[in-house]
Every structure is written in structure tokens, then in C-alpha cells.
Copies of this chain bind each other. A is one copy, B any other.
Amino acid sequence: MRNGRLQIIPLGGLGEIGKNCMAVRCGNDIVVIDCGLMFPEEELLGIDVVIPDVSYLVENRQMVRAIVLTHGHEDHIGALPYVLPQLNVPVYGTRLTLGLLEGKLEEQLPGFKADLRVVKPRDVVECGCFKVEFIRVSHSIPDAVAVALHTPLGVVLHTGDFKVDHTPVDGELIDFHRLAQLGERGVLVLLSDSTNAEHTGYTMSERVVGETFDEVFRRSRGRVIIATFATNIHRVQQAILVAQRYGRKVAVAGRSMVNVVSIAHKLGYLNLPQGVMVELEEANRLPRHQVAILTTGSQGEPMSALTRMATGEFKQLEIIPGDTIIISAVPIPGNEKLVARVVDQLFKRGAMVLYEAVSAVHVSGHPCQEELKLMINLTRPRYFIPVHGEYRMLIRHAELARELGLRPENIFVAENGQIIEITPKGGRFAGRVSAGRVLVDGLGVGDVGNIVLRDRKQLAQDGILIVVVALSQETGQVVAGPDVISRGFVYVREAEALMEEVKAQVRAILDRCIERKSLEWATIKSEVRETLSRFLYERTRRRPMILPIIMGV
């Protein structure tokens, strides 16, 4: 590619919430911003996680100078254990971000040597023709940064995830001054977080949650149990300090909470005052009003500590009347019913439950419309690309930019894989690279495709009916069977008569075939499939998968 040409190539995070990944190319240098995963939608049956298709990067690996990370959330770093083995380039990030990544890599790729390079806000590193600068922002995890790519054509500013918190828990403000400086000198392209672009107003400060915690602790006579994302270390910090204020000891439950608290403490992001933290066993021996518990499961995840407490399966801690439980999160779209079920189960155990619908127990980590406007006005970009959001959110964010006076032809609402090319003459869509989703199921990365998913869907809906018959290879006569086995279709004991009818249908088909001497197995199978499919739909209005198996003996 000629110099004087800049390409911005989203590989994930546009038209969706998750698997954020953005490539920026200038000449023969590529820098990648973030490489996250996404949790599968309901219809991706059996899939564990979804990662971006990075074949464009792998094919151009000799140009990829670095992966730079904005913060340590799964949707920004979670694909790296799958991607780094194919693309082991330097990874830049702040200390906490790389600390969390290191933990992931140790767990998922023991022994793998990644080239992790710690940076601080306002640091600048050189990656090919790019100077990459890190700029502090507020978010629901500490040590989050925006990334400014200084390129020969101008500055490309990617906000990462951010919010404007004027009273941050750790005192570290979003770096308004550097953003303003860049804006004053001229930003070429702004890529900005669209997650909350549908919401008017502004996002409340994280401190609001601390005030709610204070109020709850002040009034509670029993234990207080707080479920939140482990990586929301500011919130964890506030909970611990409030607990201490009211003379409570804090115990931690749930694997990721234990892990993250330990990493954040080790790296100095979490202040654990002496004598406050206790083991769960000790907490169980203390008077109820002296106990607070921090735990995972704020999304109603079936295997999480809170969900198991709600169902009575968490052995180390039993929910009892008098407990107050704070679910300090908002359900991620798709998790509403899971969270609601956990709330109901906790209520049934006699606990008081405070959750997002009824109490100020959560604030977002993303910017609402007024903050988005501030970011645009502060940085005054020539080109604008809304990122991190489903399509309607990108559209809304683009509208906001137009309302602030950006020229419509300089605003690009793009899809993953679309190349946005910027030259001194202007910007335009300039083709596509391959992009999309790669499904991870167990150890298989990308081996579950549409056929497997289609089969799983049919199996999930109406089960399977298997017909087995042994035919003589010499005479074509039936030697054994037909046997009929079903799973997930009907409860067999209640449907014996139906199964007998199925067998009779198969026998009739076999007789006809033998009579006609048409003993092509493929023909027999397709006739069995069609006949049974029609017959079973008529009798049950269900469409199980029908699998005829012929053994030649």
C-alpha cells in the first residue's frame, strides 16, 4: 500500500457488543487495538465463546507491529489466548491490563511466552510508522486508556471504553487536558465507544454506588453479600472500605473474585486494610452483623457462587433470613431472565435483595450522550467512526456527531471487515477484508460451523429418531431389525405404539425396495427419511432428525 494512505479496519465490535478488535494500517505497518471475545448468543448452541476472525492479520503478519490494549475486560483481551499463538507480536498495555492478561495466558496457554510490554498513561511507543500514545480514561475497571495513534496523516484517536467520572474512586481523572491538546492541534479520526449512545444525559459517578453501599451497610443487621464483576475493582474497593467503616470483616467467594482481588492487590490497585479480610470459614463463625461477602454471579451465571447460594448448592455459605444481598450490576442483554431467577430464589430463602430495577446499586462504565458530545467537541475530529455497539447504537452515535456539526460525508458507520480509507483528499469505504466470528467449543476453535449448528438446533427442538437395519450383502434381505431408537423426541415408554408403527413403515419400505430390487442404500435411506418425516409430523407435529443406518452383513 502506498504511503499517504491510512486504513482503518474493524475486525470486531461493530454491529455487536463484544469481541472488540480494530486494525489500523499505514503503509506497511499495522497496529491492532484490542482483541476481545464475546459470549455466544442463545442460538449458538453449545458454543463457549466467540472470537474475531483475524485471518487478515495472520495473512499480513509481517506487517503487524503490535497489539495495544485499552483495558483488561474480556471483550478487549479475551481472544488473545487464541490469537497470540498465531501472531506473537509485542502486546502493550497498562500494568493491571497486562496483569489480568498474564493470568489468562498462564491458565489457558501454560508455558507460552508472550511479549508483554507495560506502559503508563502519556507514554508513547514507536510501532513502525506509528507513534502510539496512551491516555487515561475512566471506566468500570482501573487503568483504562484511550489510544492515540500518531500517523504521518494525523492523529487517530480510539477512546476504548470510557466514561467521564468527575469523582473517580482512585482520584485518577480522565485526561481531559491531553484530549484537549490533541483536539487543539487537530485529530484526524475519532473512534468512540457507542455502548450507551441510546441514552440521554450522562452516566453517574462510580461513587454513587459507594453511597448506596454505605446506606445499606448502615441499615443492615444481618450479613451483607455483594455480587459484582470481579474486575470492577473500584467497586470492590468501595465495598471493602464501607464494610470496614461499619466494623465488618470481608470474605471473598467465587473463583474469579478471588483471582482478581489477589492480582489487583498484588499490583497495588486494591487497598486491603489490615485485619479486614477473612476466610469464608472464619466469616461463618462471626456474628452476622460483622460480616460482608464479596462474590461473583451478578449476571446469574449458572455455575457462579451467587447462583449456587440462591439454589442452596454453595456449601461454604447458606443464605438465611436477615441476609441482605446486593446485585451490583445491570443484566447484560440476554441475561435478564437468569438474573431475575436468582433474585426470586434469594427472596424465597428469606433474604432482602437489592437489584438494579429497584435500587441505585449500579452505574454504567460507558458514556451517555452528553459525555459522547464532550468527547467529540473536545477532540474536534475531521472524521468520525462510532465503534463498540450494535448497529442502532452506531447510528445514534453518528446522528449525535452530525448534530454537533461534523460533515455527514466524514462520518462512517461501518461493519466489521469494511475498510475505511483516509487520504489527504478524503475518506471512503475501500473494500473489505475477511472478518467475522470464529466459534470456540471446548478445545475446538472454528471447527463448529453452520452444519453442526443446524443439526444441534434440530436436535434441540425435536430430538432424533434412529432406524437401524442389517441387510445381507449377498441377498439384500433383512437380517436383523429394523430397530428404532429415539432421544429427545417422545418419552419412549409412552410412545411404544408409535414406535411399532414406525417399524411397520420401515418394513414396508424395505419390502417394496426388495420387491423392486432397488437396493441402493442411499435410496432406501432417503425413502425412510421422507416417509417417517411425513408420518411423524402428521402424528405429532414434530420434526425430529431422522437417521437411517444400514449395516451390511
Query: Using a CB–CB distance below 8 Å, which chain A residues touch chain B?
Result: 15, 41-42, 45-46, 198, 333-334, 336-337, 340, 343-344, 347-348, 353, 357-358, 390-392, 395-396, 441-444, 447-449, 451-453, 455-457, 459-464, 466, 468, 470, 479-481, 483, 485, 487-491, 494-495, 539-542, 545, 547, 549, 551-553
Query: Which residues on the B side are within 8 Å of A390 (C-beta)?
Result: 340, 344
B448 touches A464 (CB 8 A): no
Q: Shortest beta-carbon distance, A197 to chain B, in Å?
A: 10
Q: Assess A340 versus B488: contact at CB under 8 Å? Given A42-B42, A443-B540, A444-B542.
A: no
Q: Assess A46 versus B542: contact at CB under 8 Å? Given A456-B463, A489-B452.
A: yes
Query: Which residues on the B side are within 8 Å of A340 (C-beta)?
Result: 333, 390, 392
Q: What separation, in Å, do the CA atoms of A459 and B452 have in the docked complex?
A: 11
Q: What separation, in Å, do the CA atoms of A532 and B211 have in the docked complex?
A: 55
Q: What separation, in Å, do the CA atoms of A553 and B15 have in the docked complex?
A: 57
Query: Which residues on the B side are within 8 Å of A392 (C-beta)?
Result: 340, 343-344, 347, 353
B487 touches A551 (CB 8 A): no
Q: Shortest beta-carbon distance, A244 to chain B, in Å?
A: 30
Query: Which residues on the B side are within 8 Å of A344 (C-beta)?
Result: 15, 390-392
Q: Shortest beta-carbon distance, A343 to chain B, in Å?
A: 5
Q: What separation, in Å, do the CA atoms of A358 and B336 have in the docked complex?
A: 20
Known contacts A46-B462, A442-B540, A456-B461; 4 additional CB pairs below 8 A are A15-B344, A340-B390, A455-B488, A468-B551
A442 touches B541 (CB 8 A): yes
Q: What separation, in Å, do the CA atoms of A182 and B459 have in the docked complex?
A: 55
Q: What separation, in Å, do the CA atoms of A549 and B486 have in the docked complex?
A: 12
Residue of B nearest to A446 (CB): B494
Q: What separation, in Å, do the CA atoms of A491 and B448 have in the docked complex?
A: 7
A347 touches B395 (CB 8 A): yes
A494 touches B447 (CB 8 A): yes
Query: Which residues on the B side are within 8 Å of A540 (C-beta)?
Result: 441-444
Q: Assess A487 versus B468: contact at CB under 8 Å? Given A333-B340, A539-B443.
A: no
A358 touches B198 (CB 8 A): yes
B456 touches A488 (CB 8 A): yes
Query: Which residues on the B side are within 8 Å of A495 (C-beta)?
Result: 447
B468 touches A464 (CB 8 A): no
Partner of A488, one of B395, B442, B452, B470: B452
Query: Which residues on the B side are within 8 Å of A466 (C-beta)?
Result: 466, 547, 549
Q: Assess A470 versus B553: contact at CB under 8 Å? Given A45-B460, A459-B460, A540-B443.
A: yes
Residue of B nearest to A454 (CB): B488
Residue of B nearest to A536 (CB): B442
A485 touches B549 (CB 8 A): yes
For the complex of A and B, the 7 pairs showing the least CB-CB separation, nearest first, are A442-B541, A460-B460, A459-B459, A455-B488, A344-B391, A456-B488, A46-B461
Q: Assess A447 versus B491: contact at CB under 8 Å? Given A46-B463, A336-B333, A441-B542.
A: yes
Partner of A198, one of B46, B357, B462, B490: B357
Q: What separation, in Å, do the CA atoms of A412 and B487 have in the docked complex?
A: 42
Query: Which residues on the B side are within 8 Å of A348 (C-beta)?
Result: 391
Q: What separation, in Å, do the CA atoms of A549 and B482 have in the docked complex?
A: 12
Q: Shortest beta-carbon distance, A321 to chain B, in Å?
A: 13
Query: Which residues on the B side are within 8 Å of A487 (C-beta)?
Result: 455, 459, 464, 545, 547
A452 touches B463 (CB 8 A): yes
Q: What separation, in Å, do the CA atoms of A463 and B45 have in the docked complex?
A: 10
Q: What separation, in Å, do the CA atoms of A15 and B340 have in the docked complex?
A: 11
Q: Shortest beta-carbon distance, A403 to chain B, in Å?
A: 14
Query: Which residues on the B side are within 8 Å of A451 (C-beta)?
Result: 491
Query: Which residues on the B side are within 8 Å of A457 (C-beta)?
Result: 460
A549 touches B468 (CB 8 A): yes
A488 touches B459 (CB 8 A): yes
Residue of B nearest to A45 (CB): B460
Q: Assess A460 versus B551: contact at CB under 8 Å? Given A340-B390, A451-B491.
A: no
B334 touches A449 (CB 8 A): no
Residue of B nearest to A493 (CB): B451
Q: What separation, in Å, do the CA atoms of A457 and B464 have in the docked complex?
A: 12
Q: Assess A490 versus B444: contact at CB under 8 Å? Given A46-B461, A470-B470.
A: yes
A45 touches B333 (CB 8 A): no
Partner of A443, one of B45, B336, B541: B541
Q: Shortest beta-carbon distance, A345 to chain B, in Å?
A: 8
Q: Shortest beta-carbon distance, A488 to chain B, in Å?
A: 4
Q: Assess A442 versus B549: contact at CB under 8 Å? Given A42-B42, A46-B463.
A: no
Query: Which residues on the B side are within 8 Å of A470 (C-beta)?
Result: 470, 480, 551, 553
Q: Assess A551 versus B483: contact at CB under 8 Å? Given A392-B344, A449-B491, A490-B452.
A: yes
Q: Assess A358 versus B468: contact at CB under 8 Å? Given A463-B455, A539-B443.
A: no
Query: Which residues on the B side are within 8 Å of A395 (C-beta)?
Result: 347
Residue of B nearest to A393 (CB): B344
Query: Which residues on the B side are within 8 Å of A459 (C-beta)?
Result: 456, 459-460, 463-464, 487-488
Residue of B nearest to A395 (CB): B347
